[in-house]
Amino acid sequence: MLSASSCLLAHLRFAGTIACVTFAMPELPDVETFKRYFDASSLHQRIGHVDVRDAYILKDISACELARRLKGRQFKSSRRHGKHLFVRADDDLWLRLHFGMTGSLQYFKREVQAPKYARVLFVFTNNHRLAFEDQRKFGEIGLIEDVIEYLKKRALGRDALDIDLSQFRAIFRKHGGAVKTILLNQKLIAGIGNIYADEILFRTRLHPATEISALKAKTVSKLFRVTRYILKKAIESKADADLMPKSWLLAHRGKGGKCPGCGRKLRSATIGGRTAWFCAHCQKRRL
Ligand SMILES: [Zn+2]
């Protein structure tokens, strides 16, 4: 089983108690981990039927139509962009998955193994099943014909691991605002969410509210390198906080948490509508 909540939330512990009780939404490393799980478990098997148990998460398609259009097809390949996962079903159709706040995947054989919050089950002709589970139902499932067109329509920026340094620099040159708000803006850079934006800024030693116009070119280059490092390292750790370095902010964020660098109490602030955790001593605000 692979669950977004077990990836992050269940592991956000501090001094033996859970430091943070809100759900961590799946970000780029989580969705890349889901992609690899999907590829390893569910490609190249014929779909016998699709069991929609809660149509709430379906977008622009009915349960009957989803089942009818997928029946008899095989998932051939997948691609991720930001927090979105697309799976090609034969040649001309793509299944679109977004994991919302609590979405995850589980592949299993017997019906009794179905997860409690399974919303859609893809039942293969070999009788194995892939469940999309989603306790809080902010996830989305849909069918599309063209991934590029979909990304354009949603006006999503380049994937955070696909963007190059000159494109990254151009974003920081052309926009204003707090550095964390820029990192979170999916229309500029796709894939970074609240947890990893904080981690990236902690490692770059930047206060999350720093105005980007105050950043020197070499700081922007460092931010670019750190972004890649953190996201790749998190993917290597299968987005599991227990497998990530203890020097990261991740395991310490939340009330009562202390900076893994200097030991001082972590602070929080609302920036860009999200709660940022940071160390006011290690992360300086550039004015
Ligand atoms: Zn510190």
Tens-digit pLDDT profile for residues 23-57: 578 999 999 999 999 999 999 999 999 999 999 99
Centre of ligand 1 to C-alpha 71, Å, is 54
Query: What is the predicted pLDDT for the residue at 16?
Result: 27
- Res. 245: pLDDT tops 60: yes
**Is it the case that residue 158 has pLDDT exceeding 90?**
yes
Taking only the tens place, the pLDDT of each residue in 134-143 is 999 999 999 9
Please state, rounded to an integer, the average pLDDT across all residues of the chain. Answer: 91
How far apart (Å, rounded) are the C-alpha atoms in residues 57 and 243? Answer: 31
Report pTM.
Answer: 0.91
Q: What integer pLDDT is reported at residue 177 of this predicted model?
A: 95
In this prediction, residue 164 carries a pLDDT of 98
Distance between Cα 106 and ligand 1 center (Å): 38
CA atoms within 13 A on the CB side of 85: 29
Distance 205 CA to ligand 1 centre (A): 9
CA of 57 relative to ligand 1 center, distance in Å:
41
Closest among 163, 153, 233, 222 to 191, alpha carbons compared: 163
How far, in Å, from the CA of 233 to the mean position of ligand 1?
21
The span from the CA of 71 to the CA of 46, in Å, is 8
- Per DSSP, helices labelled H in 46-131 are 63-70
| Cα 191 to ligand 1 centroid, rounded to whole Å | 26
Token couple for 147: 């991934």
How many whole angstroms from 201 Cα to the centroid of ligand 1? 12
Quick one: average pLDDT of 62-91? 98
